[in-house]
Amino acid sequence: MTSTEIRTALNNSPLFHGAPEAALNMALEAASVRKFAQGNPIFREDDPGEAVYVLVEGRVKVSRENLEGRERIFTILTPPEVVGEMALVSQLPRSATAHCIDNVTTLAIYRNELRAILDRHSQVLWNLAQIMAKRLGDMNREVEMLSFASTQACVAYALQGLYLRGAFKTGKEGNPTLEFTHQDLANRTGNSRETITRVLKDLENDDIISTRPGLISLLKPKALEGVIYGLREKDE
């Protein structure tokens, strides 16, 4: 990447949104381009949190395993989001694994360099606080959804969240499509694969989604809102 491309990527990142030129100059000096092949981790659970990564290209799955070895998928991140900020701030080991769904290009900024930027530029510090607050808010909404909503609403909520984050790509038929298995969705929502298969079939019968092996396509993305809140609009 050229310095101009790196500056543009930093400027587009929520971490440096609205930051002064001096902050971008410091980030430009600190950022190193790191590329990861599809299927490889950026970092693993329990690794030391040494850097924050600005996503430039490619999608990243954030997950962790429970004591039984079952994966729980928290989210899928897309450019220009950042990943790895929690461990960097807390100085604790990584609490999750960041796994590359595609070939991924990132800009890595290590702790000492980021701290120097934060010390001098309050806008970047404020942006970091907003990123972490949004993560916490998303987590609280998800806990509420998983605790009180129906399984169908939980699945619709998970699909809507992935859609809004840009995890879906345009498929061959022009619909938003995600490479996501029934087991992946089970791991995302904490349900069994059998339950997910049944719910997806119901959504497919309502012409909200279509599925093929390993793929989920959204036919009516706006209809997911109705499923989540129990307000089904048949003409959606």
Q: In this structure, are 81 and 186 located in the same domain?
A: no
Q: In this structure, are 96 and 187 located in the same domain?
A: no
Tell whether the model's pLDDT for residue 81 goes beyond 90. yes
Which CATH number goes with the domain that contains 16? Answer: 2.60.120.10
Structure confidence at residue 232 (pLDDT): 56
Domain boundary, last residue among 135, 158, 184: 135
Cα–Cα distance, 117 to 28 (Å, whole number): 11
Domain boundary, last residue among 79, 109, 135: 135
Q: In this structure, are 66 and 174 located in the same domain?
A: no
Structure confidence at residue 235 (pLDDT): 41
Q: What is the pLDDT of residues 17-36, one digit of tens each?
A: 999 999 999 999 999 999 99
CA dihedral over 214, 134, 7, 108, signed as positive or negative: negative
Q: What is the residue type of 110?
A: Y
Per-residue confidence at 138, pLDDT binned at 50, 70, 90?
Answer: confident
Tell whether the model's pLDDT for residue 163 goes beyond 50. yes
Cα–Cα distance, 119 to 88 (Å, whole number): 15
Q: Which residue has the higher pLDDT, 138 or 98?
A: 98
Instruction: Identify whether 216 is part of a domain.
Output: yes
Task: Lowest mean pLDDT of 24-28, 146-150, 182-186, name the range.
Answer: 146-150
Q: How far is CA 90 from the centre of its chain?
A: 20
Instruction: Identify whether 141 is part of a domain.
Output: no
- Please state whether the peptide bond connecting residue 80 to the residue before it is cis, i.e. omega within 30 degrees of 0: yes
Boundaries of domain holding 57: 3-135
Q: In this structure, are 167 and 98 located in the same domain?
A: no
Cα–Cα distance, 40 to 189 (Å, whole number): 23
Instruction: Identify whether 91 is part of a domain.
Output: yes
Q: In this structure, are 10 and 57 located in the same domain?
A: yes
pTM reported for the whole predicted model? 0.84
Instruction: Identify whether 140 is part of a domain.
Output: no
